Amino acid sequence: MTKLKLTYFDFDGGRGEPARLALHIGSVPFEDDRINPKEWPQFRDRTPFQALPTLEVDGKLVSQSNSINRYVGKLAGLYPKDDWQAFLCDEVMDAAEDIGVRISNTIDLPADGKKQAREELAAGRITRYLEQLQARLKAAGGEFFADKRLTVADLKIFMLVRWLRSGVLDHIPKDLVDRVAPLMVKHFERVASLPEVAKYYERRKAA
Ligand SMILES: N[C@@H](CCC(=O)N[C@@H](CS)C(=O)NCC(=O)O)C(=O)O
């Protein structure tokens, strides 16, 4: 059997979490390697592109979160076999990644610059992306983003929406998703209440 080790920072979110969740949902055995951010400076140069997540597959180290999501999605039965549905799934994951990158780029800005950049992002790109993602969801039938069933695209969006609604992002109103893309909130709740997802986070809370 293929030996998998997924390495990411030790928190329940971010770029590594959709793959963790997919592997759990698909009952695919893997080593859940969690790095304390304090260890990161010593660890950085051991990764291919000085970034996490990474996935070790039978001793071979690879990276890039959406590539990992596709690979583990296939192992977990959470990636479309149909090429068109796979394309829809990929587009949504890459759009989610775009938003994440734009927000991450504001993290180290000085306070004033951060406020302005985030307010512009919230009113501009993020709103636009959320509206477009909502339109994609509607076009796919309203429940899931591709293949009329749960795929890794839903898990990636689940993390993004949870982050945007969490209130941890200063200057990005935590009710933005609710206001501009209410179907995305319904989607978030749908994914959160799937028994495998709910059970996973109950176990994490108890750990
Ligand atoms: N394109 C990469 C980006 C990876 C990335 O920037 N990861 C962040 C954590 S979410 C990281 O490792 N940051 C630490 C650093 O850049 O030093 C991917 O999608 O995996």
What is the Å distance from ligand 1's center to 48 Cα? 11
- Could you say which DSSP state residue 82 is in? S
The reply to whether ligand 1 has any atom less than 6 angstroms from the CB of 61 is no
pLDDT score for 1: 86
The reply to whether ligand 1 has any atom less than 6 angstroms from the CB of 51 is yes
* pTM > 0.95: yes or no: yes
- At a CB cut-off of 8 Å and minimum separation 6, what does 108 contact? none
Tens-binned pLDDT, residue by residue, of the chain (207 aa)? 899 999 999 999 999 999 999 999 999 999 999 999 999 999 999 999 999 999 999 999 999 999 999 999 999 999 999 999 999 999 999 999 999 999 999 999 999 999 999 999 999 999 999 999 999 999 999 999 999 999 999 999 999 999 999 999 999 999 999 999 999 999 999 999 999 999 999 999 998
- At a CB cut-off of 8 Å and minimum separation 6, what does 3 contact? 31, 56, 57, 58, 59
The reply to whether ligand 1 has any atom less than 6 angstroms from the CB of 64 is yes
The reply to whether ligand 1 has any atom less than 6 angstroms from the CB of 47 is no
What is the Å distance from ligand 1's center to 64 Cα? 8
pLDDT score for 204: 95
The reply to whether ligand 1 has any atom less than 6 angstroms from the CB of 22 is no
Residue 37 CA, distance from chain mean position: 19
Beta strands in the chain (DSSP E): 4-9, 31-35, 54-57, 60-63
Residue whose CA is at the smallest distance from ligand 1 atom 17: 51
The reply to whether ligand 1 has any atom less than 6 angstroms from the CB of 13 is no
Q: Which atom number of ligand 1 is nearest to the Cα of residue 68?
A: 20
pLDDT score for 207: 85
Q: Which atom number of ligand 1 is nearest to the Cα of residue 44?
A: 17
Residue whose CA is at the smallest distance from ligand 1 atom 9: 52
